[in-house]
Chain A
Amino acid sequence: MGDVTEPFDAIVVGSGMTGGFAAKELTERGLRTLLIERGRNVEHGKGYVTEWMQPWDFPHRGRGDKELYARDYPIQSKNYAFGEATKHFFVNDREHPYITDGEQQFRWIRGYHLGGRSLLWGRACWRWSDLDFEANLRDGHGVDWPIRYADIAPWYSHVERFVGIAGERLGLSYLPDGEFLPPWELNCAEQFVKRGIARAFNGRHMTITRVANITRDHGGRTRCQARNQCARGCSFGAYFSSLSATLPAARKTGRLTVVTDAIVESVLYDDRTDRAIGVRVIDANTKDAREYRGRLIFLNASTIGTAQVLLNSKSRRFPNGLANSSGEVGHNLMDHLSKAGARGVVPGLENEYYFGRRPTGAYIPRFRNLSGKPDSGVSFVRGYGIQAGAGRAGWERGSRSLGIGETLKHNLREPGEWTMSLQGYCECLPRHENHISLDPERKDAWGIPIVHIHWSWSENERALRADMKTQSAEMLEAAGCKNVQTYDDNAPMGFSVHEMGTVRMGRDPKTSVLNDHNQAHDVPNLFVTDGSCMASTSCVNPSITYMALTARAVAFAVEEVNRRHL
Chain B
Amino acid sequence: MNEPGELDLSPEVIARREALQRIGMLLGLGFSGPKLAAALTRSIAVGSLGTATLRVLSPQQLEQVATIAEHIIPATDTPGARGVGVPAFVDTMLAEYYTPAERDELLAGLAAVDARAHHAYGRAFLAIPENDQRVLLEALDRESLAPRTSQDAVANRASRETERGGGGLVSPGSDTSHAAPVGASDSAPASFRTLKELTILGYYTSQPGATKELRYLQVPGRYDSCVPFAKIGRAWAT
Q: Within 8 Å of chain A (Cβ to Cβ): is B96?
A: yes
Would B226 and A395 count as touching, CB distance under 8 A?
A: no
A61 touching B230, Cβ below 8 Å: no
Which residues of A are found within 8 Å of B177, using beta-carbon distances? Answer: none
Chain B binder among A40-48, A399-407, A443-451: A399-407
Chain A residue contacts of B118, Cβ below 8 A: none
Please give the distance in Å from A201's CB to the nearest CB on chain B.
23
Within 8 A of A (CB), among B199-222: 200-202, 204-207, 210, 213-214, 216-222
Chain B binder among A322-330, A345-353, A529-537: A345-353
Whether the Cβ atoms of B72 and A405 lie closer than 8 Å is yes
Contacts of A421 in B (CB 8 A): 163
Residue of B nearest to A81 (CB): B165
A227 x B218 contact (CB < 8 A): yes
Q: Which of A20-28, A107-115, A183-191, A254-262 contacts B (4 or more CB under 8 A)?
A: A183-191
Residues of A within 8 A of B74 (CB): 405-406, 409
Q: Tell me which residues from 457 to 486 in chain A have a Cβ below 8 Å from any Cβ of chain B.
A: none
- Judge whether B182 is part of the interface by a CB distance below 8 angstroms: no
Task: Confirm or deny: A169 has a beta carbon within 8 angstroms of a beta carbon on chain B.
Answer: no
Which one of B14-22, B40-48, B109-117, B167-175 contacts A?
Answer: B167-175
- Please name all residues of chain A whose beta carbon is closer than 8 Å to the beta carbon of B236 when the two chains form the complex: 394, 415
Contact of B238 among A55, A354, A392, A405 (CB under 8 A): A55
Q: Confirm or deny: B196 has a beta carbon within 8 angstroms of a beta carbon on chain A.
A: yes
Cα–Cα distance between A250 and B141 once the two chains are bound (Å): 59
Q: Using a Cβ–Cβ cut-off of 8 Å, how many residues does chain B contribute to the interface with A?
A: 69
Q: Known: A343-B163, A405-B134, A406-B74. Is A56-B207 also a contact (CB below 8 A)?
A: yes
CB distance from A55 to the nearest CB of B (A): 4
Taken residue by residue from 32 to 70, chain A's Cβ proximity to chain B (1 for < 8 Å, 0 otherwise) reads as 000000000000000000001011101111111111000
Choose among A65, A354, A395, A413 the residue that contacts B223 (Cβ–Cβ < 8 A): A354
Interface centre among A65, A343, A406, A408 (most CB of B within 10 A): A408
Name the residue on B nearest A342 (C-beta): B163
- Tell me if A395 and B214 are in contact (CB < 8 A): yes
Residue of B nearest to A360 (CB): B223
A357 & B93 in contact (Cβ 8 Å cutoff): no
Given A54-B218, A487-B160, A62 and B167 touching (CB < 8 A)? Answer: yes
Contact A357 B204 (CB under 8 A): no
- Could you say which residues of chain A place their CB within 8 Å of the CB of B107? none
What 1/0 flags go to A178-205 for Cβ under 8 Å of B?
Answer: 0000001111100100000000000000
Do the beta carbons of B235 and A414 come within 8 Å of each other?
A: yes
Taking A66-B174, A414-B235 as contacts, is the C-beta distance between A399 and B213 under 8 angstroms? no
- B72 nearest CB neighbor, chain A only: A404
| Whole-angstrom distance between the Cβ of B192 and the nearest chain A Cβ | 9
Most buried by A among B93, B206, B224: B224
> Roughly how many angstroms separate A489 CA and B226 CA in the complex, as a whole number?
31
Instruction: Determine if B76 is an interface residue (Cβ-Cβ < 8 Å).
Output: yes
A63-B93, A356-B224 known; 11 other A-B pairs, CB under 8 Å?
A61-B202, A339-B164, A343-B163, A354-B226, A357-B223, A395-B204, A398-B196, A399-B197, A402-B142, A404-B137, A421-B163
Task: Indicate whether A409 sits within 8 Å of B220 (C-beta atoms), given known contacts A186-B225, A404-B137.
Answer: no
Is B51 on the interface with A (CB-CB < 8 A)?
Answer: no
Q: Is B145 an interface residue (CB 8 A)?
A: yes
Q: A62-B169, A227-B220, A415-B229 are in contact. Are A404 and B141 (CB under 8 A)?
A: yes
* Cα–Cα distance between A397 and B158 once the two chains are bound (Å): 9
Q: Is the interface of A mostly helix, strand, loop or mixed?
A: loop
C-alpha spacing A63/B98, complex, angstroms: 11
Residues of A within 8 A of B227 (CB): 352-355
Contacts of A339 in B (CB 8 A): 164
Is B52 in the interface zone, CB < 8 Å from A? Answer: no
Interface residues of A (CB under 8 A from B): 52, 54-56, 58-67, 80, 184-188, 191, 225-227, 339, 343, 350-358, 389, 392-406, 408-409, 412-415, 419, 421, 423, 487, 489
Contacts of B223 in A (CB 8 A): 184-185, 226, 354-358
Q: Which residues of B contact A393 (CB under 8 A)?
A: 162, 168
For the complex formed, measure the closest distance between the CB of A87 and the CB atoms of chain B, giving whole angstroms: 14
Bound CA span A339–B167, Å: 16
Which residues of the partner chain A approach B232 to less than 8 Å between Cβ atoms?
A: 353, 355
Bound Cα distance A80, B164 (Å): 7
Interface presence of B2 (CB below 8 A): no
Given that A56-B207, A80-B166, A405-B74 are contacting pairs, would A65 and B96 also be in contact in the complex, using a CB cutoff of 8 Å? yes
Q: Check A66 against B99 for contact (C-beta < 8 Å).
A: yes
What 10 pairs between A and B have smallest CB-CB spacing? A356-B220, A396-B168, A356-B223, A185-B225, A399-B197, A355-B224, A55-B205, A226-B223, A395-B204, A61-B205
Cβ–Cβ contact B167 & A60, under 8 A: no
- Contact at A351–B225, with CB atoms within 8 Å? no
Return the chain A residue nearest B6 by Cβ: A56
Q: Name which residue of chain B comes closest to A79, CB basis.
A: B164
Docked-complex contact B225 and A354, CB < 8 angstroms: yes
Judging by beta carbons under 8 Å apart, are B219 and A63 in contact? no
Q: Nearest Cβ distance between residue B141 and chain A, in whole angstroms? A: 6
Which residue on A lies nearest to B217, using beta carbons?
A356
Once A352-B226, A399-B170 are accepted as A-B contacts, the answer to whether A405 and B71 lie under 8 Å apart by CB is yes
Kindly list chain A residues whose C-beta atoms are within 8 Å of the C-beta of B217.
356
A354 to B166, CA, bound (A): 19
CB-based contact A409/B168 at 8 Å: no
Q: Is the CB of A56 within 8 A of B234?
A: no
Q: Are B145 and A63 in contact (CB under 8 A)?
A: no
Q: Is B108 an interface residue (CB 8 A)?
A: no
Q: Are B207 and A356 within 8 A (Cβ)?
A: no
Q: Is the CB of A63 within 8 A of B171?
A: yes
- Please tell me if the beta carbons of A55 and B137 are within 8 angstroms of each other in the complex: no
- A188–B228 Cα gap in the complex (Å)? 10
The complex places the Cα of A428 from the Cα of B231 at a distance, in Å, of 46
Can you list 7 pairs linking A and B with CB atoms under 8 Å apart?
Answer: A184-B225, A394-B204, A395-B200, A399-B196, A412-B235, A413-B214, A415-B229
How far is it, in angstroms, between the C-alpha of A415 and the C-alpha of B215 when the chains are bound?
A: 11
Q: Across the interface, do B96 and A60 meet the contact criterion of CB distance under 8 Å?
A: yes
User: B174 and A351: CB pair below 8 A?
Assistant: no
**In angstroms, how far is the closest chain B Cβ from the Cβ of A109?**
14
Residue among A66, A187, A414, A421 with the most chain B CB within 10 A?
A66
Known contacts A227-B219, A395-B214, A404-B137: A353-B229 contact under CB 8 Å: yes
- Closest chain-B Cβ to A250's Cβ sits at a distance in Å of 29
Centre residue among A64, A65, A352, A399 by max chain B CB count within 10 A: A399
